[in-house]
Structure 1
């Protein structure tokens, strides 16, 4: 799965960033003019100021024929306007108004492609995936039609030979948008067909995209900042692209990175983060993507590690929330930052607000249900945690195996009368986990393989205590690190672990008894690490005394890492 890091991170970044909207068929008429589009533009701003009702605005739009041309400045203004609509949760409005330009202007083509691809990722619906593929192919054709016709030599070589005047700025913008659309096509190709051949084709497109960004960056060094009003959008787009590539490549395991270095690819995390921070702090059409890329990185990849950069990213979230206070995307990330600081009740309220303030983008609800499940679980509100897991299981297609295990784990700690009221069988849910697993490139998803093995164990054996499955799931999802800021909760969970240890000592599993005791000692050490270093070291050291059990090597390795972290923090 290591070779999936590049595509999965980029896809997750976009997934947490945008939502595709419904397919539309706008009225198209011959003889459309730019004056008509300008009329629409002014009507829209009047609408934002409250001058028109929505239904009147919509009628006016449908009576205006789609124009056939748009200059670069106008297209950037149009895209900025639609992004503002999007950030105010007006998803369908944003797509309806950008679609007419998606086949004759590079930036609208790019944004329309992003929106449709995100819907494909969020729904995993085959029809939506096909729509996303069609949109990205059309976006590539649109961008390609504005690129330099002769590609016998790169832009940078052409500039070296003929000077900067040999290239039009519009051609540079087309190159940058083309590079981003290549990434979009690669991600859709990957989810449409996960064969090795398709993966290799996607990798080629990703490599070509990276090369285009680098080439454009070299050309930019010879363009004066005052050259045009659109220059900042060009610079911002390149910073975003190169920032993402540097960040992704820096996360690739060393052995894989050595192979990439041979063919000229390398990544520097600090460079990537700096480029993305710069891009996020500037005014251009890619700044919001840069912001959300940073958010995703800090809360999903490096939380608790890069504290200085994380603080800067959280400050960015507050700045953007002041400008777009009802944006569900920004609210969702704000809730995640609250969780990482141990403010679970505040995160819970924010997530509930995300669900309440908009009902068009149902997939955001699914993301919120998953985080709500964890907030409720940390706070030991088992009934609400179960309801969130059930909603996720019923409506999301991402990982039914994970949601089935989560439901069963929560039923294990719920009162018997509640379990009877929901008409669910815990053992059946555990057993069904294996049947619900998915495969990528013919390979099992590691976390799904883990919960499938655990599900089989808990469905077919006795000698485990009720909180054991949820503890294992919590550890697998870094729950104890998330709770580390809330010492009161850590103490509460420590008492649950102690009680579980006593029960296992009294009635151990014949097959898994040693595994279970060592796992609880490990979890106890993790909890004590945040309360009492001496006790933590003692419990982690105890693990070394047990031999010949199924997860011996893995558990001892993790205990060793935990002991090293304690030594550094003392």
Structure 2
């Protein structure tokens, strides 16, 4: 990393733009994939300037600029530059698909479910990565938009396709596809999708990104509360997921006591969580982050170790990345 930073200062060299893109890729994308999610925004703002100047119509430069705006919480500008990245080239369609994925989440942060669903449909029509995942995402986004005609029939039709679209690579299932199928099986038992759009947003670092724009978190929290008030489910799994999303929202708003109450409540009902067993380890991790925010640092590592001790739940590897990154961060400090 030190060598990359030195090379990024070598203006006018062949390696400079490559190094800048590598550093931006790490801070803005890879750091979220491995659970670190602590980009050096000031460094990124510095690195993007020469790239934007030298390659004003470069698809990668525009994409990275969009991603920087997204990470900073400026969603509208992010959407604009993702669109520009798509417009400037038509050779590598796969790069369009990456932009569609980003736009899907960007519109979800704004709760513009119709536009998010439009990009999910584009991915389903054009991308071959995971038709199972794209179909599930399209269904949950249509379900989130209460104004869609024949919404329930469309959602049911799409979800019935999901199990048939699962792929196996060397005999192994793709974890996110397995997660989608489990959600569909629960839908068939319960007859509804509850909080699935916010749940997916959580697992793909959406709430982490929105920490930089609290004005977007407030309406999301209000929507979560309104959905729960309307549903009033007696199901403990539904209640656990509601508490997790509510707690994360409170933590992002700096309301740490409210967040702590939500996560502790999840730990109280842990034994009743069957379909959503993944809620408990994620709540344990979020409680560790909340206690860290409270300055109770001596309680953070035991909670992270407890979260790490859970086994056999959905999307386990994604949480393990976050836990190990949090532990490494503690050691560095």
> TM-score, normalising length from structure 2?
0.79
Q: Aligned partners of 2:265, 2:100: CA distance in 1, in Å?
A: 38
Secondary structure of the equivalent of 1:358?
coil
Cα 1:417/1:476, change in 2 over 3 Å? closer
1:428 aligns with 2:157: yes
Q: Pick 1 or 2: higher relative contact order, CA cutoff 8 A, min separation 6.
A: 2
Whole-angstrom CA distance in 1 between matches of 2:263 and 2:191: 26
Deviations 1:224-250 (A, max 9, x none): xxxxxxxxxxxxxxxxxxxxxxxxxxx
Structure 1 stretch displaced more, 307-316 or 369-378? 307-316
Matches within 5 A, 1:316-465: 316-415=47-146, 417-419=148-150, 425-462=154-191, 464-465=193-194
Superposition RMSD on alpha carbons, in Å?
2.5
* Structure 1 residues 10-29: Cα deviation after superposition (integer angstroms, max 9, x where no partner): xxxxxxxxxxxxxxxxxxxx
Q: Aligned equivalents of 1:499 and 1:308: distance in 2?
A: 33
CA-CA distance at 1:478 after TM superposition: 1.4
Deviation at 1:540, TM superposition (A): 1.3
Q: CA deviation at 1:305?
A: 4.5
2:224 is the counterpart of 1:497: yes
Cα deviation code 1:410-458 (max 9, x no counterpart): 11022455457xx982112223222222233332221221112112322
* 2:25 alignment partner in structure 1: 296
Deviation at residue 462 of structure 1 after TM alignment: 2.1
Which structure is larger by alpha-carbon Rg, 1 or 2?
1
Partner of 1:559: 283
Question: For residues 297-328 of structure 1, what are the alpha-carbon distances to aligned partners after superposition, in whole Å with 9 as ceiling and x for unaligned?
Answer: 22233249475745323421222111111111
CA–CA separation in structure 2 for the residues paired with 1:564 and 1:309: 23
Rounded Cα–Cα distance in structure 2 between residues aligned with 1:291 and 1:455: 42
1:515 aligns with one of 237, 253, 257? 237
Distance 1:544 1:456 in 2: 25
Seen in structure 2, the aligned counterparts of structure 1 residues 352 and 430 have a Cα distance that, compared at 3 Å, is same
Shift of 1:558: 1.8
Matching of residues 249-260 of structure 1 within 5 Å: none
- Mapped to 2, the partners of 1:561 and 1:417 lie a distance apart of 36
Pairing of 1:154-233 with structure 2 (within 5 A): none
Measure the CA separation in 2 of the matches of 1:349 and 1:336.
11
The 3 A distance-change label for structure 1 pair 424 and 341 is farther
CA distance in 2, matches of 1:519, 1:458: 15
Structure 1 residue 295 displacement after superposition: 2.4
Asked whether 1:543 is paired with 2:266, we answer: yes
Correspondence for 1:527 among 246, 249, 264: 249
Q: Could you tell me whether the CA contact under 8 Å between 2:240 and 2:273 is conserved in 1?
A: no
In structure 1, what is the Cα distance between the partners aligned to 2:277 and 2:190? Answer: 23
Cα contact 2:140–2:193 (8 A) shared by 1: no
Q: CA deviation at 1:554?
A: 3.3
Distance 2:277 2:58 in 1: 46
Cα distance in 1 between the residues matched to 2:245 and 2:135: 24
Structure 1 residues 288 and 529: alpha-carbon distance in aligned structure 2, compared to 1, 3 A threshold: same
- 1:290 and 1:443 mapped to 2: Cα distance? 35
Structure 1 position 542, deviation (Å): 1.1
2: CA distance between counterparts of 1:519 and 1:330? 38
Give the C-alpha shift of residue 280 in structure 1: 3.9
Q: Distance in 2 between matches of 1:309 and 1:463?
A: 41
Q: 1:343 to 1:295 in 2, by over 3 A?
A: same
Paired residue secondary structure (2:272): coil
Deviation at 1:406, TM superposition (A): 0.9
3-state secondary structure, aligned to 1:397: coil
Q: In 2, Cα distance between the equivalents of 1:381 and 1:280?
A: 38
Unaligned runs of 5+ in 1: 1-272
* Kept after mapping to 2: 8 A contact 1:339/1:482: yes
The whole-number CA distance in structure 2 between the counterparts of 1:460 and 1:344 is 36
* Distance change (3 Å), C-alpha of 1:319 and 1:541: same
Determine if contact 1:430/1:459 at 8 Å carries over to the other structure. Answer: no
**Cα separation, partners in 2 of 1:564 and 1:416, compared to 1, 3 Å:** closer
Distance apart, 1:459 and its partner CA: 4.1
Shift in alpha-carbon separation, 1:437–1:288, aligned structure 2, 3 A: farther
Does the CA contact (< 8 Å) of 2:207 and 2:252 recur in 1?
Answer: no
Change (3 A) 1:438 1:295: farther
Partner of 1:312: 43
Residue 477 of structure 1 is matched in structure 2 by 204
| Superposition deviation, residue 471 in structure 1 | 1.6
